[in-house]
Homo-oligomer: A and B are copies of this chain.
Amino acid sequence: MPTREYTVAVLGASGAVGQQILRNLEERSFPVKELKPLASKRSAGKTVRFRGEDVVIQEATPEAFEGVDIALFSAGGGVSEKFAPEAVKRGAVVVDNTNAFRMDPEVPLVVPEVNAEAIRNHKGIIANPNCSTIQMVVALKPLYDRFGFDRVIVSTYQAVSGSGASAVEELRKQSEAALKGEEVPKEIMPVGKLDKHYQIAFNALPQCDVAQENGFTLEEMKMVRETKKIFNDDNIGVTATCVRVPVMRGHSETVYVELKEDFDLEEVRQVLSEGKGIILQDDIDNQVYPTPLDAEGRDEVFVGRVRRDVINPRALNMWVVSDNLLKGAATNAVQIAEHLVSLDS
């Protein structure tokens, strides 16, 4: 048992990920001395539920971080850029769930199953990777250690909850309207801040973030860049196509990976099944494979459809599923905080 307890701030406490962080802190018995739920002025004064009590949300201000030991940020990149330095100045360690600092060379980008040791090098901020990256690197880690790999080609099937609770509500409303043959409201998907909005209900949208100069989207380039940084290996090549599908919660990915060595498929399954944070569900003959609906509410990464490629005998194909709000966000952030705490003891 840790002897020390911590004052923990959760910035974005009323959001989809913030809510899951609170639940994770509670379920994983994180040593919280005091919880400080923080949010924008608009949400301040509302309450969140924590350990059976209602805790009042305070407005996020620089001063709100006085006395905070660990601050879990999940309120958007702009908010992180504004408040992370303020929290650090006041002695907090920030675990940031946004894109603001991920590629900053001074900031460790951490998935504990892959590179927990990077946490030691933090200078006040530790970044939580993008949801799509996290589940992929967890699945790739045991393969990297045993066989090495050069190249990954990934296509995603991403849930709307990656765009927040309002996007989940939009999918519900659109689905209801479409089923009744009524006009479908389109206000958020695929990217809230962009001009054009498409129906996501009963549709698939090949855009999960803004466009980049090379024709890829930011979501796709996050997977490329973050994977190299997490493995600390610039030789890893990743090609990604990120697609939004009408799923509430849980991202799925088809992952093609070229290993560096010849492999025995049974050994690959063994290595995956023993991989940290992985649950192997792989028996297509008996229709056993993960689905986003089954992964909902679970902290692990689920891997199935493991098979040797038909063209390149050194390549593998897999289907990787995880709850984007948990391992893809809240769980990973709380796991980072747990590692931070373990460094104290």
Binding site for B on A (CB under 8 A): 151, 153, 155, 157, 171-172, 175-176, 179, 190, 194-196, 198-199, 202-207, 211, 214-217, 221, 224, 237-239, 241, 243, 245-248, 252, 254, 256, 284-287, 289, 291-293, 304-312, 315, 317, 319
Considering the complex of A and B, which 9 residue pairs feature the smallest CB-CB distances, nearest first?
A215-B307, A237-B311, A155-B155, A241-B254, A155-B254, A196-B287, A211-B284, A203-B293, A206-B319
Q: Is the CB of A217 within 8 A of B284?
A: yes
Which of B224, B241, B305 touches A319 (beta carbons < 8 Å)? B241
Using known A-B contacts A202-B293, A289-B206, determine if residue A239 contacts B309 with beta carbons closer than 8 Å.
yes
A13 to chain B, nearest CB (A): 26
Which of B239, B245, B307, B311 touches A157 (beta carbons < 8 Å)? B245
14 A-B pairs (CB sep. < 8 Å): A153-B256, A155-B254, A157-B204, A175-B179, A195-B287, A202-B247, A204-B245, A206-B291, A211-B287, A214-B308, A239-B311, A239-B312, A239-B317, A246-B247
Q: Is the CB of A305 within 8 A of B157?
A: no
Which of B153, B246, B305, B315 touches A202 (beta carbons < 8 Å)? B246
With A194-B287, A215-B305 given, name 16 new contacts (CB 8 A). A155-B254, A157-B243, A175-B175, A176-B179, A190-B287, A198-B293, A202-B248, A202-B293, A204-B252, A206-B305, A211-B284, A211-B285, A211-B287, A215-B308, A239-B310, A245-B246
Query: What residues on B are CB-neighbors of A289 within 8 Å?
Result: 205-207
Query: What residues on B are CB-neighbors of A157 within 8 Å?
Result: 157, 204, 243, 245
